[in-house]
Amino acid sequence: MDLGLQGKVVVIAGGAAGIGRECAEAFAAEGARLAIFDWDADALAETASAIGATGAEVHTERVDVSDARSVDAAHARVIESLGGIDVGFNNAAIITPSKAIEDTSEDDWDRVVGVNLKGVWLCVRAQVRHMRPRGAGAIVNMASAAALVGAPGTTPYTAAKHGVLGITRTVALELATTGVRVNAVAPGTVDTKLNTQLFAGEDPFADALVRQGQPIGRNAHTSEIADAVLWLASERSTFVLGSTLVIDGGFTAQ
């Protein structure tokens, strides 16, 4: 099935590892031109080298998504170098080890919300400023099943992901008639390094439902999330606006 992504310029924030890297590889396989943003310079260089070796065009930017100047400057350089932005996938995220709210520090809150919520807002803002005048574009934001339910021990992360859905829905409505679409994906637990950080210490809520796995009986593979992201970014989903595609193995159906 042709997704219509050949030659499209795709910005992937948080694209050097995990779901972001899987999506970068998938977009490249569809013939897209990539702009990969990440804070980890070593992972960024390795990812760009590996994907570039396939013949794909890869532009990289070391970006702090919680900083407006860093985000705006990186988008401006992509527009100048690649001629525009057709797709934004705002995936950058961090998480801290599970803690009860009374044990969660202000620094934990500021860092997680700064990346996972403010970072999405800043990237969406930069992309919309470019896409709205062009009358075309697709933005996909990374939410989580934790955007739909409570997840004990993850107050900053869960609050941020709930906020991502608020950004997604609100901006989608602001842009509804402009030709720019904004949607989100909400994965359940995925086999990535990020998720291992949640249980780096003793988990005070090990008996919580969200720790018991997904009804399907396994975690998601990163490729399964990439399939959803590419569909939302493609010309196969042109009537999808302000939606959240839940990919959680049945977890939120319980």
- Enzyme catalytic residues: 157
What is the C-alpha to C-alpha distance for residues 42 and 46, in angstroms, rounded to an integer? 6
What is the C-alpha to C-alpha distance for residues 134 and 222, in angstroms, rounded to an integer? 32
Nearest to 85 by CA among 48, 126, 52, 31: 126
Start-to-end C-alpha separation, the chain? 33
3-state class (DSSP) for residue 34 = strand
Whether the Cβ atoms of residue 48 and residue 57 lie closer than 8 Å to each other: no
Q: Which helix (H) or strand (E) holds 3?
A: none
Per the DSSP assignment, residues forming a β-bridge with 183 are 140
Looking at the chain, list the stretches that DSSP marks H as alpha helix, in order from N- to C-terminal side.
18-29, 41-52, 68-82, 106-113, 119-134, 155-174, 193-197, 222-233
Structure tokens at 136: 């075309």
> Is the Cα dihedral 128, 131, 136, 141 positive or negative?
negative
Helix axes 18-29, 41-52, angle to 10 degrees: 20
Q: What are phi and psi of 12, to 5 degrees?
A: -120, 110
**203-240: burial string, b at 16+ Cβ within 10 Å, e else:** beeeeeebbeebeeeebbebeebbebbbbbbbeebeee
